Structure 1
Amino acid sequence: MKNYDLIVIGAGRAANLAVKAGKLGKKVAIIEKSKLGGTCPNRGCVPSKLIIGYAHVARAIKESERHFIDSTINNIDINKIFEETNNYVSKIDPRYESRFNENVTVYRGSASFISDKVIEVNDERLSADNILIATGTRPIKPAHEKAWSSDDIFPFKKEIPKSITIVGSGFIACELANFFDAVGIKTKLIARGDKLLSAEDKDISEIFKEEFTKNVDVSFNTTIKDIKHENNEFDLVLENKDGTKVSHKSEALLYATGRVSNADLLNLENTNIKTNERGFIKRNEFFETSVSGVYVTGDASGENMLQHAAAYEVNYLGKILYENEPSPLKFKYMPHAVFSDPEVASVGITEQKAQESGINYVASTTNWLASAKAMSTRLDYPRTKFIINPNTYEILGCHLIGPESSTMMHQILSVMHIENDIRHLKDMLYIHPALSEAILPAAVQAVIEVEKYNN
């Protein structure tokens, strides 16, 4: 048995805690069965955003006519795109390992609980007073052994297909479909229902659907009833909800239909650590599981399944464990973005959620055309939607669709973080004619709508 002050299972954002504890002189073990850095920089948000950059350029050239520019793309070197992305990903693991000092021991293998505070990895048994479980999630298994999940995209080591079918309607499916289509790979997206990004505010989701389908071929209300794979090609039978069946072929088939907890791989049945009905690990407001001294952060909890949330939680747990922070973490807000075309950013509740919850609210939607910078894009769909508490002027939700929405959202987040009142956005000084100036008329209109409601 090897004894440590801290064991960290999963070397994604949780690696930050191992680094912190090691610098404080604590004896730390960190266990990772795959690459250091976890899903985000190796297989998820970082490489997927790197390739989105190429998609943006390709789209701009293809759509240059709206700027009265006649242009053509002579060649897109897709091999080079993936080579550059793979090169970046290959450096993640050693970069993470270089952050650990001599107090941190890295175990490359799968962790298995023997008891509440004893873990086995590579036939060695480790124990610690404090254990952090940060094992994240994995994609739902594809319906065919030759099909891909999002984990199979990065690093990309396969022959690049000339055509691809993607199953899903959430942000991963829409981001990847946008990329493949933009760089010239024949792409079809299969959506079980009649919506894309159904978790977004209904008005934003509808605009996204209208704009996205101008580029990407989407079959709505459709499922795959049969899959055959031969001669390096998938032969699919697609069925619409009205019963109509059609044949569709593509060289690649990718499933982006959700993610599941990795907790089932830890042998938690040997412990008193509890999971919920979805298989995610239960925790209290201090990130502690049902076993004292065993904590869980990030996607493994199933609560805020976003990289920035995981990083924030890990850093806060470091304060609890090593800086005598007695208070639990309470997120004031939880933003997210969809890096597709169009780009979407959201924070807080949607209008449909407000309606379902019986919350008193005022909704206000404004276009961006008061901003000359926004006008220069020659796009007429960008919108800002606010959901406001009419009694306090508190921003309950904000939803953006348009170029750089994720960047513009931070202006709203700053107000929500310091003193959440829509009137601060109305009264602040903006750079004219910056893109962010589009927030000003949206804030002014939201305040007007609240005052109308109250009068």
Structure 2
Amino acid sequence: MEFDAIIIGTGQAGPSLAASLAKNGYKVAIIEKEHLGGTCVNVGCTPTKAYVASARRAFIAKNSADLGIEVNGSVAVNLKVIKERKDKIIADSRSGLDNMLNTNENITLIHGKARFLDNYSVEVNGKTYEASKFYINVGGKPRIPEGFEGVNYLTNESILELEEIPEHLIIVGGGYIGLEFGQMFRRFGSKVTILDRGDQLLKKEDLEFGKAIAEIFKGEGIEVRLNSDCINAKKSGDQIEVSINCKEGSPTIKGSHLLLAAGRIPNTDDLGLENTNVNLDDRGYIRVNDELQTSVHHIWALGDCNGEGAFTHTAYNDFQIVNSHLFEDKKRLLSDRYTCYAAFIDPPLARVGMNASEIGKAGIQARVSSRPMAKIARAKEMGETQGMLKIYIEESTEKILGATFLGTGADEYIHTVIDQMYAGQPYTIIRDAVHIHPTVSELIPTMLEQPREM
């Protein structure tokens, strides 16, 4: 069967691109080996943020006495009901995608695993499909370190299928996935231990933010063990025993459940790319240029598999970049994008652009504006004063280089800074703006009044 374009994967970029191609008269095939929606809908943003919401409700119910709210009796967490709610949200999203793809006469949805036969054809379920354009949108999967093959470990995918709360959840990895699950299951009632081989949580962030998050977690009763390289795990009775190469603490730890949150790898190892001229880097990511074109001129790679972002919003922007070169006058480029993301812990950490460490390594002369959350009136009124705000400004241009926020609502008001960076205007525009009182974001103009030397 021949198509004008074939899209492999129905993650964030795939369905939007299929709809745009179809609207412009292309005969399109979109191939999916599992559930419609990719990581975000099925095992990423949608389900985990539903769990985060439940965990926060439980935490508030148990910790509101300081604000004069007393809960008489116990607060029970029903993980089965939480899972059922999550499953309903996912089912609704899948249903919407299924309806969109199956009711468009220019789109053919093919269920099955695709493998390239050559640069112009793929095989799915024993059938060959050809096209003049290919768009790879296959996403990623959990990385499983060596030494854990013999135990019944959990990943960010399988942990969402639990219907009973773990007694003691051991988490290998102090990144975003490990921290989000660690905090939510602690709030559900599990004992939680987080093991990380580095000397701080969230290794890509400045040390002060890693330390602040560790203190927040310890305050909630989560054990954080840094400098702990996990060697292997084995079954010990009805528990799992993890062996640790560590400087301090016991070299072994036992728990009822083990979550491996040691990063993700691209789904490119079984795609048949060895039968094409598509180039990969040494980690298995597909190399792309500024237009997301691979080393083969008629094949593009979008989303997590290209190594240029591991987020739903970057995957959607990948669609926007490709779509602009197909059908729009204004052409978008990968290099136009500012890196931005959030860790949806409580309080959340949000980041855009460069941090202090990166600015120092680049040798850029910069200033910093900062404010502890404890000095922000709205945070005090809400009783949520943990964290800090930092914005970095280039001295020569007065433009914002980046910002890192840790505090209540940070994942929302970071966009004030993101929008300013895309506008390409100096920081003084925000400094001189009038924000609404009482809000947390009203302190952004105030904190920019006197930036200091870094």
Q: Secondary structure at the match of 1:82?
A: helix
Match among 367, 382, 396 for residue 401 of structure 2 = 396
Q: Does 1:107 align with 2:110?
A: yes
Structure 1 residue 247, shift from structure 2 partner: 4.2
Match among 265, 268, 274 for residue 269 of structure 1 = 274
Q: Distance in 1 between matches of 2:175 and 2:142?
A: 13
Counterpart contact for 2:62–2:75, Cα < 8 Å? no
Structure 1 residue 435, shift from structure 2 partner: 2.2
The aligned counterpart of 2:415 is 410
Paired letter, 1:111? A
Q: Please report the RMSD computed on the Cα atoms of aligned residues, expressed in angstroms.
A: 2.0
Q: Distance in 1 between matches of 2:243 and 2:332?
A: 55
Distance of aligned partners of 1:307 and 1:70 in 2 relative to their CA distance in 1, 3 Å threshold: same
Structure 1 residue 18, shift from structure 2 partner: 0.7
Structure 1 residue 74, shift from structure 2 partner: 2.8
Q: Secondary structure at the match of 2:100?
A: coil
The aligned counterpart of 1:435 is 440
Q: Distance in 2 between matches of 1:434 and 1:223?
A: 42
The aligned counterpart of 2:241 is 235
Structure 1 residue 150, shift from structure 2 partner: 1.1
Q: Does 1:125 align with 2:125?
A: no
Match among 140, 144, 150 for residue 143 of structure 2 = 140
Matches within 5 A, 1:10-409: 10-13=9-12, 14-71=14-71, 73-100=74-101, 101-141=104-144, 143-144=148-149, 145-154=151-160, 156=161, 159-215=164-220, 216-229=222-235, 232-242=238-248, 245-323=250-328, 325-326=330-331, 328-369=333-374, 371-409=376-414
Corresponding pairs, count: 446
Structure 1 residue 132, shift from structure 2 partner: 0.3
Paired letter, 1:286? E
Instruction: Give the % identical residues.
Output: 30
- Give per-residue Cα distances to partners, 1:172-202, cap 9 Å, x unaligned: 1000000000111221111222211121123
Distance of aligned partners of 1:387 and 1:432 in 2 relative to their CA distance in 1, 3 Å threshold: same
Q: Distance in 2 between matches of 1:55 and 1:158?
A: 15
Q: Distance in 1 between matches of 2:277 and 2:229?
A: 40
- Give per-residue Cα distances to partners, 1:237-278, cap 9 Å, x unaligned: 444225x53543222111000011211211111111111122
Counterpart contact for 2:379–2:385, Cα < 8 Å? no
Q: Secondary structure at the match of 1:26?
A: coil
Q: Distance in 1 between matches of 2:331 and 2:408?
A: 41
Q: Secondary structure at the match of 2:419?
A: helix
Structure 1 residue 358, shift from structure 2 partner: 1.3
Paired letter, 1:88? I
Q: Secondary structure at the match of 1:84?
A: helix
Structure 1 residue 294, shift from structure 2 partner: 0.6
Q: Secondary structure at the match of 1:11?
A: coil
Counterpart contact for 2:385–2:407, Cα < 8 Å? no
Q: Secondary structure at the match of 1:213?
A: helix
Counterpart contact for 1:368–1:438, Cα < 8 Å? no
Distance of aligned partners of 1:221 and 1:326 in 2 relative to their CA distance in 1, 3 Å threshold: closer
Q: Distance in 2 between matches of 1:234 and 1:368?
A: 39
Counterpart contact for 2:61–2:75, Cα < 8 Å? no
User: More deviation in 22-31 or 55-64?
Assistant: 55-64
Counterpart contact for 1:119–1:127, Cα < 8 Å? yes
Distance of aligned partners of 1:307 and 1:157 in 2 relative to their CA distance in 1, 3 Å threshold: same
Q: Secondary structure at the match of 2:116?
A: strand
Structure 1 residue 68, shift from structure 2 partner: 4.5
Structure 1 residue 23, shift from structure 2 partner: 2.4
Counterpart contact for 2:165–2:189, Cα < 8 Å? no
For structure 2, which runs of at least 5 residues remain unmatched after alignment?
A: none
Q: Distance in 2 between matches of 1:331 and 1:20?
A: 22
Q: Distance in 1 between matches of 2:322 and 2:128?
A: 25
Structure 1 residue 49, shift from structure 2 partner: 0.8
Output the TM-score relative to the length of structure 1: 0.93
Q: Distance in 2 between matches of 1:125 and 1:34?
A: 19
Q: Distance in 1 between matches of 2:230 and 2:333?
A: 46
Distance of aligned partners of 1:324 and 1:386 in 2 relative to their CA distance in 1, 3 Å threshold: closer
Paired letter, 2:5? L
Q: Distance in 2 between matches of 1:62 and 1:438?
A: 30
Structure 1 residue 129, shift from structure 2 partner: 0.9
Q: Distance in 2 between matches of 1:34 and 1:249?
A: 34
Distance of aligned partners of 1:18 and 1:97 in 2 relative to their CA distance in 1, 3 Å threshold: same
Paired letter, 1:252? H
User: More deviation in 128-137 or 328-337?
Assistant: 328-337
Structure 1 residue 416, shift from structure 2 partner: 1.5
Structure 1 residue 433, shift from structure 2 partner: 1.1
For structure 1, which runs of at least 5 residues remain unmatched after alignment?
A: none
Distance of aligned partners of 1:114 and 1:345 in 2 relative to their CA distance in 1, 3 Å threshold: same
Structure 1 residue 403, shift from structure 2 partner: 0.6
